[in-house]
Amino acid sequence: MTRGVLLMAYGAPGAPEDIAPFYTDIRRGRPPTPELLAELVGRYDAIGGSSPLLSITRRQAAALQARLGAGYQVHIGMRHWTPWIRDAVADMARAGITEAVAVVLAPHYSRMSIGQYMARLDEALATLAPTAIHFRKVEHWHLQPHYLAALAARCRTALKKFEAPGTTAPPHVVFTAHSLPEKIREWNDPYPGQLQETAQQLAARLNLTKWSVGYQSAGRTPEPWLGPDLLTVISQLAAAGEKNLLVCVIGFVTDHLEVLYDIDLEAKPFAAKHGMRLERIEMLNDDPQLAEALAEVVEAASVA
């Protein structure tokens, strides 16, 4: 029997004309205001007009497929753009897959993140026969050993940048992930705790003495979002006399807008204005250790 794997990611517009409908889907069918749309278009323009997310996700899927072998069939589904989750599920059904594992390319669980991916999966399954595909859903993999090892290796490489002559002090390391609305704390949502667990594991592996957890890329809504925001962290560290900062992104595994713009084009110049040097780790993208981590997650779920 061939098992299916549904590898899910956020999605990103492939061309400028896709940005408005993509943004509308993120906003649950509410078109953005002209001002919000212009801001997002400008951000994509700044990173070259489109996101590399889909092409990298395809490489990640290919690496996972190669690692898992012929006993599995890996499909890609995006939450907010093509190829849609619903289309991937339909393709799996047409391929005759009856047993599958669903995993999101985000290691930490929240009802507002992973929970919404699984809701889209359930909506897709509702259009099929009741017993068409039985999915085992992976809700988190934030302590997967190969994931942690890959991040630690990226951090070690980036830390060497601060060993060059003229560097005055070792960096403070901030582990970042996408912010979510503050109201998730009312649900006892595990997201903040899982981020802290990942950060603690990495800090121990790297023997860090100066580190913290920060959030980035909060939504444009009036409600409060989880903090401290990365820009706030920068301001606070600068005021405390820190000169060097390494951003270790733990909530994302792929280069996309929230990395290429929010960190490289927004946070880094912001830090420079505050007299700080900011560097970040290279994203995992199609790192073989990420493929190994995902493969072990899938294999464990397959026999659960």
- For 35-81, write each residue's pLDDT tens digit: 999 999 999 999 999 999 999 999 999 999 999 999 999 999 999 99
Q: Which pLDDT value is given to residue 23?
A: 97
Q: Which pLDDT value is given to residue 130?
A: 67
**Are 221 and 128 in a shared domain?**
no
**Are 104 and 124 in a shared domain?**
yes
Question: What does 178-241 look like in DSSP terms, one character per residue?
Answer: E--BGGGGGGT-SHHHHHHHHHHHHHHHHT-SSEEEEEE---SSSS-B-S-BHHHHHHHHHHTT
Q: Quick check: 280 pLDDT over 80?
A: yes
Write the CB contacts of 66 (distance below 8 Å, at least 6 apart in sequence): 291
- What is the domain extent for residue 59? 3-141+287-302
Rounded mean pLDDT of the chain?
96
**Percent of all residues in the chain with a pLDDT value above 70, rounded to a whole number:** 98
Residue 163 binned pLDDT confidence (cut-offs 50, 70, 90): confident
CATH code where residue 264 lies: 3.40.50.1400
Is the entire prediction scored with pTM above 0.75? yes
Angle between helices 19-26 and 34-46 (to 10 degrees): 120
**Per the structure, how many domains does the chain have?**
2
Q: Cα(first)–Cα(last) distance of the chain, in Å?
A: 16
